[in-house]
Amino acid sequence: MATIDRKPILLDFEKPLADLEARIVQIRELAEENDVDVSDEIRQLEARAVQLRQEIFSGLSPTQQLQVARHPRRPSTLDYIQAISDEWMELHGDRGGFDDPAVVGGVARLAGRPVVMLGQQKGRDTKDNITRNFGMASPGGYRKAIRLMEHADRFGMPIMTFIDTPGAYPGLEAEKLGQGEAIAYNLREMFRLSVPMICVIIGEAGSGGALGIGVGDRLLMFEHSVYYVASPEACASILWRDASKAHQAAEALKITAPDLKQLGIIDEILPEPVGAAHADPLKTTEILKEALLRHLNELDQMTSQQRRDLRYQKFRAIGVFSEHPL
């Protein structure tokens, strides 16, 4: 994975845990300085820290889940690709004159098998985020993505996409270059591809920006990721003309993994280590790799037509509901 500054970045609800861990360090240092045995007390406090971490991350509100999904230390698309693949060669350009850095992709080997991996890429700091446009792709990014998918289909390589974007870039220039058309084209073409396709929501998945690389045979979602039609802040601004009501919007939008699993939108929730993916990226990577290989093995048992039919029926079923008389 990329080398990054590991200085802790604390979310508001993590502060009690950080205070307890700092207290443990302080007591240990004082005990060493004064040659006092406080091992029993340290064990009790460490056990309490483990319990507190579990309590915090097992009861997050949708707004807190959104904070975790946006955590600057959360593993990114490139982190996962480089960690799970045996070989990786990034490919550039949409063959139309653009190479959007907000979308990365290329050819890799997963457990020795050639595959194509791609996804949105956020930055690690302000400068990198500006370069990557905060993971918000332009039309060129979506055209690059479908070029790589068509390459995979032509050579019989499975496709794996990693979704992590607040949405497609909404700027005037993007609209001039055909943002809506680029996403719509991707949606249509992804339904006709013959190879196995697995999509994974690794952070936040916003609106058409996520859908533009999110039509697959299987849609997996990390436990603390979110998926929404509009960000809670945007939704609150539209409905109440007040962005401070984003927490209400987050509750109503059903953006969390359990909500989306219940609605039949995602196929599997991938568990994260206690403390979320940013607390233990290596363990998170192991979880992801196991899930990808397992689903790929299942999809390999199907014919191309069966996979296309499955993909079509999966998305046709989204939003279907029944009314029962009172």
Q: Where are the domains of the chain?
A: 12-59, 64-317
Residues whose CB is less than 8 angstroms from the CB of residue 66 and which lie 6 or more positions away in sequence, other chains included: 204, 226, 232, 250, 255
How large is the greatest C-alpha to C-alpha distance in the chain, in angstroms? 74
User: Which stretch of 2-6, 121-125, 220-224, 261-265 has the lowest confidence by average pLDDT?
Assistant: 2-6
The whole-number pLDDT of residue 41 equals 79
Query: Tell me, what's the pLDDT at 59?
Result: 83
Q: How many CB atoms lie within 10 A of CB 175?
A: 13
How far apart CA 247 and CA 111 sit, in angstroms, is 42
Q: Looking at domain 64-317, which of 2.60.40.10, 3.90.226.10, 3.40.50.620, 3.30.365.10 is its CATH number? A: 3.90.226.10
pLDDT band (50, 70, 90) for residue 92: very high
**33-42, 188-197, 205-214, 236-245: the lowest-pLDDT one:** 33-42
**Which ranges constitute the DSSP H helices of 195-280?**
207-211, 232-240, 246-253, 257-262
Q: Give tens-digit pLDDT for 12-51.
A: 777 777 777 778 887 877 877 777 777 777 788 878 877 8
What's the mean pLDDT when you consider all of the chain? 90
Checking if the pLDDT of 322 tops 90, the result is: no
How many percent of the chain have pLDDT more than 90?
A: 71
pTM of the entire predicted model: 0.88
Average pLDDT over residues 268-272: 96
pLDDT band of 261, cuts 50, 70, 90? very high
pLDDT of 4 above 60? no
Number of alpha carbons in the 13 Å side-chain half-sphere of residue 67: 15
The SS3 assignment for 211 reads: helix
Averaged pLDDT, 187-191: 96
pLDDT cut 70: percent of the chain above it: 97
Taking residues 168-195, report their average pLDDT: 94
CA–CA separation, 206 vs 148, rounded Å?
22
* The pLDDT of residue 85: 95
Given this model, what pLDDT does residue 56 score? Answer: 81
Q: What is the pLDDT of residue 115?
A: 98
Lowest-confidence pick of 50-59, 81-90, 95-104, 126-135: 50-59
Predicted local confidence at residue 8, as pLDDT: 65
- Which residues in the chain belong to E strands, given as ranges? 87-90, 103-110, 113-120, 159-165, 197-206, 218-222, 226-228, 268-270
Q: Give residue 248's pLDDT.
A: 93
Place 2 in a pLDDT band, splitting at 50, 70 and 90. Answer: very low
Of the candidate ranges 29-43, 73-87, 150-164, the one whose mean pLDDT is the lowest = 29-43
Across 44-53, 154-163, 236-245, which has the greatest mean pLDDT?
A: 154-163
Among 130, 124, 132, residue whose Cα is nearest residue 72: 124
User: What per-residue confidence (pLDDT) applies to 325?
Assistant: 76
